[in-house]
Each structure stands twice: as C-alpha cells, then as structure tokens.
C-alpha cells in the first residue's frame, strides 16, 4: 500500500499543477473570446469546463488517498495529512460553487488552491523520502 500511496501522491500533485494551468486557460479563453464577440456567461463557463471537471476528479483522488492511507495503516501522520488535504479539496469545491454568485469568494478559492498545492507537494515529497531504506552508494 505504501507504493500505491506514493504514486498516488505524485499523480495528485501533477493533476493539481495541471488544474492551475486550466484555471489560467479559462481566464484567457474569456479574454480571447472578447476579441471576437461579446463575452457571455456561457462563454466564460465553457472556458472553465475542464477546470471544473478535473477539480472533481482531484477531490475524488484526495478521497482515494485518504482511503489508501487508512486501509494501508500508513501511520497517523500520513492519515492526518491525507485527511487535511481531502478537507481542503472539499472546501475548494464549495468555494468554487459559491464564487460564481459571490465573486469575493473566488479570492478564497484561489488562496485555498495555494494551500492545496503546498500540502500536496509536501505529502508527495514525504511519501518519496520518508520511511524508505537508503540505497547503498559506492564505497570510496
């Protein structure tokens, strides 16, 4: 289960980086669309469809990470960090939904994204570096 956890943390981190890119795409898609015709709410939403879909998949992957940590009995620290990351993911979904009708919540959605990025990076780093047997190097 440790190997599954380790690889899942990496996939999750890469997905989160891609998610940030998709947010940028959504914003610049609206700017580009404004060059050709008036921008409607649908035009803006269309630019963020991939961002929203991937966000849902990321939240599911966060839940899976927590399940793997629990089922694999990977220790209290990994379980707590996985649970915290999942909580941030649920909060992110809620903030994203609320931000469409309350724009200032969008700032919280963005700040929470930074917390998710940092937490997922830390979790992946720890999964790959802690609790592994060091490889013997060449003898000098």
109, 110, 122: which is closest to 81 by C-alpha? 122
* Position 107 pLDDT exceeds 90: yes
CA dist 14 and 73 (Å) reads 25
Query: Taking the CA of residue 39 as centre, how many other CA atoms within 13 Å lie in the half-sphere pointing to its CB?
Result: 14
Average pLDDT, stretch 100-119? Answer: 95
In this structure, which long-range contacts are made by residues 6-9, counting pairs with CB atoms below 8 Å and at least 24 apart in sequence? 6/127, 6/128, 8/61, 8/64, 8/65, 8/68, 9/65, 9/120, 9/123, 9/124, 9/127, 9/128
What is the pTM for the complete model shown?
A: 0.84
Q: What is the band of 14 on the pLDDT scale with cuts at 50, 70, 90?
A: very high
What's the pLDDT score for residue 62?
A: 97
131, 130, 85: which is closest to 112 by C-alpha? 85
Q: What is the band of 20 on the pLDDT scale with cuts at 50, 70, 90?
A: very high
Residues 38-94 have pLDDT tens digits of: 887 787 888 888 999 999 999 999 999 999 999 999 899 999 999 999 999 999 999
Q: What is the band of 100 on the pLDDT scale with cuts at 50, 70, 90?
A: confident
* Position 9 pLDDT exceeds 80: yes
Collapsed DSSP state (helix, strand, coil) of residue 139: coil
Average pLDDT, stretch 7-19? Answer: 97
CA dist 98 and 26 (Å) reads 17
Average predicted confidence (pLDDT) for the chain: 90
10, 17, 19: which is closest to 123 by C-alpha? 10
Q: Which residue has the higher pLDDT, 20 or 37?
A: 20
93, 62 Cβ separation under 8 angstroms: no
């Amino acid at each position: 289960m440790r190997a599954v956890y380790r690889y899942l943390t990496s996939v999750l981190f890469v997905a989160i980086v891609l998610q940030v890119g998709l947010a940028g795409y959504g914003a610049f898609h609206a700017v580009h669309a404004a060059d050709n015709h008036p921008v409607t709410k649908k035009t803006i939403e269309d630019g963020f469809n991939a961002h929203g879909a991937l966000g849902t998949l990321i939240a599911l992957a966060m839940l899976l990470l927590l399940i793997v940590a629990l089922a694999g009995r990977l220790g209290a620290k990994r379980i707590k960090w996985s649970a915290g990351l999942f909580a941030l993911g649920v909060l992110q979904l809620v903030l994203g939904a609320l931000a469409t009708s309350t724009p200032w919540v969008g700032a919280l959605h963005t700040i929470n994204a930074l917390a998710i990025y940092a937490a997922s990076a830390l979790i992946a780093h720890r999964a790959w570096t802690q609790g592994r047997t060091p490889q013997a190097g060449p003898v000098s």
